[in-house]
Amino acid sequence: MATRIGGRSTGTFLCVIALSTPLWIPNAFAQPRAELLHWWTSPGEAAAAEILSKHVRRSGVQYVDSPVLGGGGSSAMKTLRARVKARNAPTAVQITGLEVAEWGERDALNDIDALARAERWSEVVPKPFQRYMKFQGRWVGVAPNVHSTNWVWANTDVLAKVGITQPPRTWREFVGAARKAQSAGFVGLAYGGQTWQSTLIFDSALLGAGGPDFYRKLFIEGRRPGNAHAVLEQAYARMSELRDVIDDQSANRPWNLATAMVINGRAAFQIMGDWARPEFTVSGKQVGRDFWCFRVPGTEDSVTFNLDTFAMFKVEGAEKVQGQQIFAKTVMSPAFQTEFNVAKGSVPTRSDIAGSAFEECGRRAVQDIAKASKRQTLLGSMALGHALGTEQKDALSDVIHRHFSGFLSDKDAATESLRAIAR
């Protein structure tokens, strides 16, 4: 694990706080301290993490930035378990979805409800998002951003070379375009062979095959619609079509290296959350000219979302408790959420921030989320832990990954999926 220490010399520190109205005024007590354990290590993610460090340090906190390599966060979660066992929990930890509440059940989280009330977060954060920052109705975390997973990223130049000048509008057109690119010597779909990446693609395959009501019933309400097996089989058939347009070097490839294949013109498409967009930006690419972002065809009316919650862990010592409060308040501030989300490719969790600062894909995300919220098609991403319990999600992800790796037929995968989520 790489650890960046955010402390400054006293001289620099005093100068910074004088300029930026800190939340903490130096006095006889120790300087407030905070540490965030997270997995933002790709170039685009690291640029966004740097904005977080800047805002937290400016608020007078001695900040330790602790990134753990590995998209999707499974390595970071291993580190977290080891640290909690060693009674050395970080002040805050990036955790996605319902796993936050699972740490609450283990009595590992700090209640920050008083701060939430004072700051009126309940009034500015939409209800569907609050669920991922609370445990038993009380705030135990803060989230700066909402991502969504049903996006396609496309290289316009590669597609122009095979005669495609518009984003595909239907699943058929999408698969057809990927096949065309593949026949011309490109990779149709850039993909990294890791369980969370195949599962992320499955979010969209299922949503496209079954529609939002089916997705909601199966993944969010835990019901089993009568046509469940047939729809799952159709979703797996879509996954099989995609398996035919990936390359044979994909095993264990990190997601951002798959994005780089689209950026560098090796591949036509990638299905990935909107954290992919900053990878294009840091490479100097422009939306419309060099790349397109569009919703996975067949899922346009819905948004499968995931929040990055920073869960507040129980820490000892006044300087850490105080640092945790200041950290939480900074993360929920409009100034931070605006600057951070532009860099991260996501949308603020506060609904009182205008989307005008965002580039095209970000503006579309703001609009899509607002529309989906009205239509009730704003759905938690199963892949990123916002639907199903962690145990069910892990069991289902294993089936999805074995199928996408070619070890299960569409039919057997559908049968095993129903078994996995019935636990």
Binding residues vs ligand BGC (CB under 6 A): 39-40, 45, 71-73, 96, 147, 255, 275, 306, 308, 384
Residue with Cβ nearer ligand BGC (94 or 234): 94
Chain centroid offset of residue 152 CA: 15
Residue with Cβ nearer ligand BGC (69 or 422): 69
**Cβ atoms of residues 422 and 395 within 8 Å:** no
Residue with Cβ nearer ligand BGC (75 or 415): 75
CB of 383 to ligand BGC, least distance (A): 9
CB of 73 to ligand BGC, least distance (A): 5
Residue with Cβ nearer ligand BGC (205 or 384): 384
**How far is 206 from 239, CA to CA, in rounded Å?**
9
**How far is 260 from 253, CA to CA, in rounded Å?**
11
Which three-class secondary structure state does DSSP give residue 263? Answer: helix
In total, the chain counts a number of residues equal to 423
Among 67, 64, 75, smallest CA distance to 2 is for 67
Provide φ and ψ at 406, rounded to 5°: 95, 15
CB of 93 to ligand BGC, least distance (A): 13
CB burial class (10 A; 0-12, 13-18, 19+) of residue 215? buried
**Cβ atoms of residues 141 and 95 within 8 Å:** yes
CB of 275 to ligand BGC, least distance (A): 3
Question: Cβ of 402: how many Cβ atoms within 10 Å?
Answer: 16
| Ramachandran bin of 388, using left for φ above 0, alpha for ψ from -120 to 50, beta for the remaining angles | left
CB of 199 to ligand BGC, least distance (A): 11
CB of 266 to ligand BGC, least distance (A): 20
Residue with Cβ nearer ligand BGC (241 or 308): 308
Residue with Cβ nearer ligand BGC (277 or 350): 277
Q: Which residues contact 245 (CB under 8 A, 6 or more apart)?
A: 175, 178, 179, 181, 182, 187, 188, 189
Residue with Cβ nearer ligand BGC (49 or 115): 49
**How far is 234 from 238, CA to CA, in rounded Å?**
6
Q: Which helix (H) or strand (E) holds 404?
A: helix 390-404
Provide φ and ψ at 63, rounded to 5°: -110, 130
Residue with Cβ nearer ligand BGC (141 or 168): 141
CB of 167 to ligand BGC, least distance (A): 23
Tokens 């939430």 belong to residue: 116
CB burial class (10 A; 0-12, 13-18, 19+) of residue 263? buried
CB of 2 to ligand BGC, least distance (A): 15
CB of 259 to ligand BGC, least distance (A): 10
**How far is 238 from 286, CA to CA, in rounded Å?**
30
Residue with Cβ nearer ligand BGC (156 or 337): 337
Q: What is the DSSP letter of 132?
A: G
State which residue has the least CB distance to ligand BGC: 275
CB of 196 to ligand BGC, least distance (A): 7
**How far is 76 from 71, CA to CA, in rounded Å?**
9
**Cβ atoms of residues 42 and 254 within 8 Å:** yes
Residue with Cβ nearer ligand BGC (256 or 330): 256
**How far is 246 from 190, CA to CA, in rounded Å?**
6
Residue with Cβ nearer ligand BGC (60 or 71): 71
CB of 175 to ligand BGC, least distance (A): 25
